[in-house]
Each structure stands twice: as structure tokens, then as C-alpha cells.
Amino acid sequence: MMVALLGCGMASTIWGVAALYDSEMPPPVPRRHVDRVVHWPRIATLLAVSWVVLSFSLPLILHVFRVPLSPPGPFRVEQVVFLNIQNGFLAVLLLVAIGYRHYKELGIIPTEPGRDLMAAIWAAPLMIVGAALIRLSMTPIIKPEDSHPILKMISLNSPWEVLLLLFFTSAVMAPLFEELLFRVVLQGWLTRQLGSRIAIPTIAIIFALIHGWPDAVPLLIVALTLGFIYDRRRSWLSVAALHAFFNGTMFFMQLLSVAAADALSKPNAAPVPVQSPAPVAPQLGQPLAPAAAPDIPTQAPEPATESSPSQS
């Protein structure tokens, strides 16, 4: 899988560099021109900013009030279900606050879905390879308990319903909610205020920091790529598809890693010695079979000589 991603990443890089030097070549991510939003949805922006502030301040509030926290570990299934309900509710709340009349302007309703998906396909190998290389370089300083709680739940012994729930959480619900909040609302609003050169890295840093250590470091590359794609395409579909492809790839790579570790942890089975069958005891009332006499070589008796009658 990594070899295929490296090859696709090299192809994407060559295409992008060639498009920079050749004006006649179509760019891999063409810019979609949209009309400027006259009345920006302020309530949606206020909700998004409030969510970010609460996410950063909640650990500090718990520390000030000395609320005991359990050590980090894998999520329970109930927590994953609650997380999906929470993110789904917040996404619907943001969509209602944005208002249907702004859906096309903000890219919630795609006008060029084919080009949006092509932009995601072009950027996916670059983003995955870059994030994976950074994560591999951090291996000496990362502890196993630092992994994401959802990734800790992935096990070969988990029922298929749990694995399907984890995949839906990471590859469907999380990309839809996070891209709507960070790229569509926050980056769109900050670009309107300060321009894309400030909005893209600012929102990328906030996105990475919210995910915590050590995911923040490789996710900074992911967030910068997502910010660039949204700035060019202005499409929720494009960044949500790219984010979903990244999370889905990480999910399956973690599953393969768990399977490989499980196979290596099992010792090689020793050959089972073949045992001769035990003698069967006779049943009650059954006569014992006579023991077989040993084979003793016998010699044939010599023929007796008959005496001839005497003649008178």
C-alpha cells in the first residue's frame, strides 16, 4: 500500500510542478470562482468559535476545579456512539445557522462535483505520504499509549459491528463535521477578514492543536493541504472526501498493523508427537484372548526308518 501511495504521490508532485512551469497545462486543482458572500452567517461563525474555545478551555477548567480524570485509554462503544450523536447534532446546527441561501456560495452544495473529487484524488497521496513520513520520524519519541483512543479500539477480536462503527466514525462523521466547522465556516470567515495567506495556516494550527499530542504534528500537514484545497475549490465535498480518504487509509493501515503484530506474537507451534493407541481393556463377560505364543523356530522331525521283515 505504501509503495502505491508513494508512486501516486510522485505522480501528483510531477503534475503540480509541471503545471507551475507550463501555463498551457491545466492545473491539478483549478480555482472555482464564486461570488462574494454579502451577508456572512454570523451565528454559524459564533457557534464554531464557541466550540473551539470550549475545546481548548475545558481541560483547563477541569484542572482548576481538580476534577479527577481517568488515564487515557481506548474509548468504549458508548462513548463512540455519543461522539457521533454530538458531531451530527452540531453539524445540523451549523447547517441551519448558515442558511440554505448560502449553501452554494460556501460550497456546501457542489456545483462541480467531478472536479471537486479530482482535486481530492490528486491531493490524497501527497497528504498521506507526507503525514506518514512525519509520523514515522517521530516513532522514537512516541509511546504506544499516545495513540488516538479510537485507534486503540481496533482489534482483531472486535465484533464486525464495532469495527464498522469505528470506520463510520473516523471516515464519515468526523470528516463531514470537522470540514464544515474548520474549513467552510472558520476558514471561510477568516479568509473574508484577513485573506487566505493568514487564514489557511491559522485554521490549520488550531485544527492540529485540538487533536492533541502527538497527532498535532503530522495533522498540521493534513490541515494545510485541506485548507489549500478548500481555498481553491470552495467545496465542502472536496475537503470532506479528501479527509475521509485520509482517515479511511489510516484506519485500514492500523488494522493491518494490528494483524501483523498479532501474527508475530504467536509462537511457532511445536510438532505434536504421534502416540501409539492405548490397549483396550476387555469388557465384562468377554473371554480373554489367548496370548500369542512367541515365534520359536522348530525343526522338522527326521523321517523314521522302517525295519524290513526277516526272511525265513
Burial of 159 (0-12, 13-18, 19+ CB in 10 A): exposed
Residue in 112, 187, 136 with CA at minimum distance from that of residue 5: 136
In percent, the amount of the chain with pLDDT more than 90 equals: 41
Residue 110, CB half-sphere, CA atoms under 13 Å: how many?
15
**Is 31 within the bounds of a domain?**
no
When divided into structural domains, the chain yields a total of 1
Q: Domain of 239? A: 38-263
| Residue 302, domain member (yes or no) | no
Res 21: pLDDT: 41
- Running DSSP on this structure, what letter comes out for residue 171? I
- The two most distant CA atoms of the chain are separated, in Å, by 161
Place of cell 505522480: 11
- 182 inside domain: yes
308 falls within a domain: no
DSSP 111: S
- Asked whether residue 26 is domain-assigned, the answer is no
18 falls within a domain: no
Q: Which residues contact 49 (CB under 8 A, 6 or more apart)?
A: 186
pLDDT digits (tens, 9 = 90+) for 173-219: 999 999 999 999 999 999 999 999 999 999 999 999 998 888 889 99
Residue 292, C-beta contacts closer than 8 angstroms, at least 6 positions apart:
none
pLDDT of residue 77: 85
Q: Does 215 reside within a domain?
A: yes
- Identify the segments of the chain with pLDDT beneath 50: 9, 11, 13-23, 269, 306-312
63: left (phi over 0), alpha (psi -120 to 50) or beta: alpha
